[in-house]
A = this chain, B = another copy of it.
Amino acid sequence: MAKGIAKRSENYSQWYNDIVVKADLAENSAVRGSMVIKPYGYAIWEKIQAALDKMFKDTGHENAYFPLFIPKSFFSKEAAHVEGFAKECAVVTHYRLRNTEDGKGIEVDPNAKLEEELIVRPTSETIIWNSYKNWIQSYRDLPILINQWANVVRWEMRTRLFLRTAEFLWQEGHTAHATKAEAIAETKQMVGVYADFAENFMAVPVIKGTKSESERFAGALETYAIEALMQDGKALQAGTSHFLGQNFAKAFDVKFTDKNSKLDYVWATSWGVSTRLMGALIMAHSDDHGLVLPPKLAPYQVVIVPIYKSAEQLDQMTEKANELMALLRAKGISVKYDGRDTRRPGHKFAEYELKGVPIRIAIGPRDLEQGNVEIARRDTLEKKIYQQEGIAETISGLLDEIQDNLFNKAVKFREENTFKVDSYEEFKDIIKNKGGFVLAHWDGTAETEEKIKTETKATIRCIPVDATEEEGKCILTGKPSTKRVLFAKAY
């Protein structure tokens, strides 16, 4: 166990927080609920951004930027949105400060009160559809396929680094279409992009499905989500994609002339993932030694640590390390050399273990003589001697292996912690004592959903898109059901 990190088995929540802080990913700031994302954490976020941004562009989307502030009145325009959406928002009421009379401090200038308060965006459907109104006249102006990378604010009362913060970073896609079918296809495509990203980059297996009506985004006709299982048996919603129908178009009066010169409201989708993904990434793979990163999202995939006694030996190791780094970089592998003489190798080993660097190479005088290196894998913690010859191919192969291994391990964990349940007794027992995903029949009503939630704290995570049709009875009411839905306690 690494210094200062709680054990998962003893205090999962403390373990998570310890990793975030000790691996230098993020910390709490002086502003309640707002975090500082530190360079190492931000470097992972940049990797996430780059991969997703490419996937968005490959599917025809462009980036744009809309205002941080939204006039208060905009929120009332879409009825379901204002009703269903959390009202915990940061509100700007004034636009000027002034010196206090004693000249020592500053205060809000009461004369600089805004006529209409501005809300710091909790999400941007309203301000964006207010813009789209001016952009869309004809079917020729459609589709609009726009994404925005931005910060948003939701005044959460209980916050946790990455998982739930007042301010967070995210991307929000907002698309406009001429037909319902096209908008639905877009909604599905984007949840597919998210699933693809989660599995192939984050190495986190996810279940794609639709949300029950009560868990839908405010203003959406259908919400798709990807759900991942964390090591403590709780589910984490890692991304959502909403089919918004014509609700926002109606609220902001966005009409277009179709090919037959008929006037109709525009169809909409929105979809997003946030820095919450960092929480999923951390919790899915890490262990009691610290963070474990999949190679595709690691800020550096390999670290080289020299073992030496004299300054002369350090020079020799550095020279060899430079040679190895050139070979690795030529193969597109990112690598860092830690030649600091202020820290001992053991200290460095522990640091990179804590930071989840996928591969650590140690090289000492004997390795130099024998043409070897020692390679340690972060996922399995195995150490092995390899020849320097062919090092780039060796490392490249190992990185692929680690990426696959992490994914397979997570799949296996999920399999072992997914339960098909046919009675409410068993359901309650598993939710309470084991945790995990529970597949069970549900009668489709909000009442049943609510009652199960109140009694067990488990919610319907999603109705899996690939659920097999089968006859069954609701675990609570015994009423007929045609497929199992996914229950779990959730973050």
Query: Which residues of A line the B interface, CB within 8 A?
Result: 27, 29-31, 34-39, 42-43, 45-46, 62-76, 82, 87-99, 104-109, 117-120, 127, 130-131, 134, 140, 146, 150-151, 153, 155, 167, 169, 342
Contacts and interface: CB of A to CB of B under 8 A. Distances in A.
Given A31-B69, A91-B92, A117 B127 contact: no
Contact of A118 (B43, B90, B140): B90
B69 A169 contact: no
A43 B63 contact: yes
Nearest to A90: B92
Contact of A105 (B34, B70, B76, B119): B76
Contacts of A95: 88-91, 155
Contacts of A35: 67
Contact of A29 (B92, B127, B169): B127
Nearest to A167: B68
B29 A68 contact: no
Contacts of A37: 64-65
Nearest to A38: B64
A82 B67 contact: no
A29 B130 CA distance: 9
Contacts of A151: 68, 150-151
A297 to B, nearest CB: 15
A92 B118 CA distance: 9
Contacts of A31: 67, 69-71, 118, 127
Given A63-B46, A64-B36, A98 B87 contact: yes
Interface centre among A62, A70, A169 (most CB of B within 10 A): A62
Given A29-B131, A68-B153, A131-B36, A97 B89 contact: yes
Contacts of A130: 29-30
Contacts of A97: 72, 75, 87, 89, 91, 119
A40 to B, nearest CB: 8
A98 B61 CA distance: 35
A351 to B, nearest CB: 13
Contacts of A38: 64
B69 A34 contact: yes
Contacts of A68: 34, 120, 151, 153, 167
Closest 4 CB pairs of A and B: A34-B67, A39-B62, A37-B65, A87-B97
Contacts of A342: 140
A100 to B, nearest CB: 9
Nearest to A65: B37
Contacts of A150: 151
Contact of A71 (B30, B45, B65, B71): B30
A312 to B, nearest CB: 23
Contacts of A29: 66-67, 127, 130-131
A30 to B, nearest CB: 5
Nearest to A103: B83
A105 B116 CA distance: 13
Contact of A120 (B34, B42, B92, B109): B92
Nearest to A342: B140
Nearest to A66: B36
A62 B36 contact: no
Contacts of A91: 92-97, 108
Contacts of A127: 29-31
A169 B64 CA distance: 12
Given A71-B30, A91-B94, A130-B30, A39 B66 contact: no
A339 to B, nearest CB: 14
B106 A96 contact: no
A168 to B, nearest CB: 10
A436 to B, nearest CB: 34
Contacts of A75: 97, 106
A218 to B, nearest CB: 13
A51 to B, nearest CB: 15
Nearest to A61: B39
A42 B62 contact: yes
A95 to B, nearest CB: 4
A87 B95 CA distance: 8
Interface centre among A42, A70, A72 (most CB of B within 10 A): A42
Given A31-B70, A43-B63, A68-B120, 4 more contacts: A29-B130, A36-B66, A37-B64, A90-B94
A74 to B, nearest CB: 8
Contact of A108 (B43, B65, B93): B93
